[in-house]
Structure formats: C-alpha cells, structure tokens
C-alpha cells in the first residue's frame, strides 16, 4: 500500500499565522476524507499548567532552565501523540508550535523518523498587522487578569525571547517558507517525495473565504446629490439602512468589520457592531474609495459641464482613466489587494468576514474573486440595499447578491 502519511511541522515566531494555517489545512484535508489532527503545544501547556504559571514572558526566557525543560516535555508529549496517531488511522499529523530553534527541529526529526516531515515556516514582518495581531492575542483568557497595555508588553517580551533563539529554516530536507500575509511562497525545498505536496502548495497560495459579506455603505448626502468622493455623513435613510443591516446580521458572529477611513463606512458599521457580542471595527486606508483628485466632491453633471475633457476621457476608458491629482481603478488594484490580505489575516480565526466599502472599492474586491475583464470592472452592480455573500474555497465558489431589508 502506498505510504501517504505525513508530518507537517509549523515554524515561526508568535502571531505569524501558524495556527490558522494549521486549522485550515486540517479542514481542507478532512473535507477530502484524509484523517488529519493538530497537535498544538500551546493548548497542551494551557491544559496541564495553570495560566498564572505560563502566561508571563519569563516562562519563555531561554535562560529559565526549568521552564525550558517543561516546554520541551510538552513538545515530546505531542511528538509521541503525533507518532501514535499516524501508526493508527491518521494520515496527516500537524505539529503546531513555534519550533523556532534548529535544536527543537532536530529533536522532531530524531523522533519522527517513520514518515516524511514537511516544515512550513510562516513569515510576516508587516508592523501594522503584527501590532493588530498582538492585540488579538492578548484577548486570550491567560491575559484576562492584565490590563491591555500590560498584556501587550508581556506578549512582546515573549516574542523577543523567541527571537533570541529563532533560526530560520535552512538545513531541513523538506520545507516551504511562506509569506503568511500575502500567501506567497518565498522558498521551497522538497528533497523527499512528499504526499499531498501539490494540494498543500495550492492551499498555501489561495485565499480561503468561508463567508465574506461585502457591503457598500448606506445612503449619504452625496449619494442624494450624485457627488463623488468627499467624506459625507449618512442620511436618515442611510441610518435606517444601517440599522436594518445590524438586525439582519445580529445572529451571525462577526468578530471584525473592516471599513475605509471615511465617516460613511464607519457609521454603517457601528449599528452592526452594537448588536454583536464581541466585534471590532478596523478602518483600513487600503479600503478607501477612488480618490477623485481635482474632481472630488463634484457631481457628475458638474464634471461634464466644467471639465468636458475629463468626462470624455474617463467615459472612453473608465478602468484605466486616472483623475488628475487622483486615482483610477487601475491604480487601486495593488492597495486593494493589500487590504484584502490584511483583512483575511486579521480575521483568520473566524469563518465570517465583513467588509463595508464603496462602490468603486467593492467592484475591485469582487473582481479579485470573479476574475472579471478589466474593462468590465467599472460596471459591476453594487447597490446600497443589497450585499454580496462570497464563498471561495478550493472546493466551492459562491457569489450571491442578497437583500437585507
């Protein structure tokens, strides 16, 4: 019988997305009837040791010999559990931990010598994303007795201790180095035949979206006047629409609402947040609307009458046209792509993700998943009384326009 058993060993500093990738890999394999289990050292530590003993950064100090031995003990327990799992019905065992030192990885290689090992190293040095990720990490129960600033300081100290022993993947026989924010393979070495390698590679570079709710901000005073850009507030109708959205999503768990930095998207998000148990609004500059430049806050009729050359040039090639001193669809692509990556990374522990944006912005986000021709993107239908529900996984693609009122 062909040997399709595999150890996947995660590597990387804390808050780099290792656990999220582990969970998503497990779900993907199990959905394809491949028995898979995760062995997480942090969960084992929390199970066997009181949080008051292990939350503090000093527990991760490489000079703290008793703590080093205890953490090694937990690692060995999971190594043996993973080995036992593959000896029975298991096909894939995922060891989820920092595994930051070459010494720890040698220990794994020494004990797991019965099946191939694939190391996956997660790298992400985006400061903004790391800062937000650390804030989310400090909401874990083990930090509940600390105020926010103390918890953040504590977790940063933990990371600094790991950095002193961190040795990037280099000498391992089989590994993938991954930019976990951009889903980009940075380096790959497969010396041995690795089961499911093509499927794993495809998974790592693909955006996995369980439920994306893509919403346009509700009605503003500029919408009523047919003006572009600006930073207008919602009308009374817009506020009523926002409340209707809040009621519609009340029974769906929304951990984060990603918006632009404008009043209208944030005002649309607030009623939704208020009806959720624990929800955070995160404004991202990448989700701002097209910058109209010298035409900002003008009506389309004013542009046509006062700047006919602008009106005609944009009408001729709407996708590639760039407003003087502003932007166009074509120049938005890179920043919108970065915004999508940020939102997915920060929302990695929840199946539901919500983005409240603008007409032009939401067209670009839809195009990211729909692969529409460039010339068609400026004409994608983006109403204010409906939203798009998107599912995009390796096995399923769904795009639905739904009414919420």
Q: Per-residue pLDDT tens for 264-298?
A: 999 999 999 999 998 999 999 999 999 999 999 99
Q: Which secondary structure element, helix H or strand E, spans residue 357, and what is its range?
A: strand 352-357
Whether the predicted pLDDT of 243 surpasses 50: yes
In degrees, to the nearest 5, what angle opens at C-alpha 243 toward C-alphas 241 and 249? 105
Tokens 């999971």 label which residue?
A: 78
Buried-exposed string 138-170: b where 16+ CB fall within 10 A, e elsewhere:
beeebbeebeeeebbebbbebbebbeeebeebe
Domains of the chain in sequence order:
6-204 (3.40.50.300), 209-403 (3.40.50.1240)
How high is the mean pLDDT of the chain?
A: 93
Proportion of the chain above pLDDT 70, given as a percent? 98
The whole-angstrom separation of Cα 89 and Cα 276 is 40
Q: Assess contact for 181 and 345: CB atoms under 8 A.
A: yes
Range name among 126-140, 167-181, 236-250, 314-328 with the lowest pLDDT average? 126-140
58 burial via Cβ count (<10 Å: 0-12, 13-18, 19+):
middle
- Predicted local distance difference test score (pLDDT) of residue 297: 97
- Label residue 55 by pLDDT band (50, 70, 90): low
Average of pLDDT values for 314-321?
Answer: 96
| 347 confidence band (pLDDT: 50, 70, 90) | confident
Give residues with Cβ within 8 angstroms of 63, minimum separation 6: none
Residue 50 has pLDDT above 80, yes or no: no
User: Which of 42 and 347 is assigned the larger pLDDT?
Assistant: 42
Read off the pLDDT band of 1 (50, 70, 90). very low
Q: Output the pLDDT for position 371.
A: 77
Is 166 in contact with 145 (CB distance < 8 Å)?
Answer: no
Q: Do 5 and 86 meet the contact criterion of CB atoms below 8 Å apart?
A: yes
pLDDT for position 54: 62
Q: What is the pTM of this model?
A: 0.82
Q: How does residue 369 score in pLDDT terms, banded at 50, 70 and 90?
A: confident
Strands 352-357 and 256-259: parallel
- pLDDT confidence of 388, banded at 50, 70, 90? very high
Q: Which residues pair with 402 in a beta bridge?
A: 387
Work out the average pLDDT over 46-60. Answer: 76
Pairing of strands 92-96, 36-40: parallel
Q: What is the mean pLDDT of residues 225-234?
A: 96
């Amino acid at each position: 019988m062909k040997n399709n058993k595999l150890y996947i060993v995660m590597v990387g500093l804390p808050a780099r997305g290792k656990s999220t990738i582990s969970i998503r890999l497990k779900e993907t394999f199990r959905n394809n009837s491949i028995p898979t289990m995760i062995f997480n050292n942090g969960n084992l530590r929390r199970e066997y040791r009181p949080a008051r003993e292990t939350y503090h950064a000093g527990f991760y100090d490489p000079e703290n010999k008793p703590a080093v031995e205890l953490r090694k003990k937990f690692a060995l327990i999971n190594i043996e559990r993973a080995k036992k799992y593959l000896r029975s019905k298991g096909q894939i065992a995922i060891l989820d931990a920092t595994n930051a030192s070459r010494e720890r990885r040698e220990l794994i290689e020494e004990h797991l010598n019965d099946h191939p090992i694939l190391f996956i190293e997660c790298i992400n040095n985006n400061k903004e994303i790391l800062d937000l990720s650390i804030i989310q990490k400090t909401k874990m129960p083990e930090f509940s007795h600390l105020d926010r600033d103390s918890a953040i300081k504590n977790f940063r100290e933990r990371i600094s201790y790991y950095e002193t022993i961190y040795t990037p993947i280099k000498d391992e026989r089989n590994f993938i180095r991954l930019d976990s924010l951009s889903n980009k393979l940075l380096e790959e070495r497969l010396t041995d035949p690795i089961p499911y390698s093509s499927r794993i590679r495809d998974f790592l570079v693909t955006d996995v979206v369980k439920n994306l709710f893509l919403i346009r901000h509700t009605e503003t005073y500029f919408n009523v006047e047919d003006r572009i850009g600006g930073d207008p507030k919602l009308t009374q109708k817009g506020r009523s629409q926002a409340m209707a959205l809040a009621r519609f999503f009340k029974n769906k768990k929304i951990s984060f609402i990603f918006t632009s930095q404008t009043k209208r998207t944030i005002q649309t998000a607030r009623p939704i947040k208020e009806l959720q148990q624990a929800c955070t609004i995160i404004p991202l500059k990448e989700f701002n609307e097209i910058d109209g430049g010298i035409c900002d806050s003008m009506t389309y009729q004013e542009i046509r009458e006062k700047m006919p050359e602008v009106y005609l040039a944009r009408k001729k090639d709407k996708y590639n046209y760039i407003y003087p001193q502003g932007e166009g669809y074509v120049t938005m692509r890179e920043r919108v792509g970065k915004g999508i990556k940020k939102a997915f990374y920060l929302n990695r522990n929840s199946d539901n993700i919500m983005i409240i944006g603008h007409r032009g912005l939401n067209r670009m986000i839809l195009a990211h998943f729909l692969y529409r021709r460039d010339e068609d993107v400026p004409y994608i239908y983006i109403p204010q009384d409906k939203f798009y529900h998107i599912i995009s996984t390796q096995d399923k693609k769904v795009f639905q326009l739904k009414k919420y009122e």
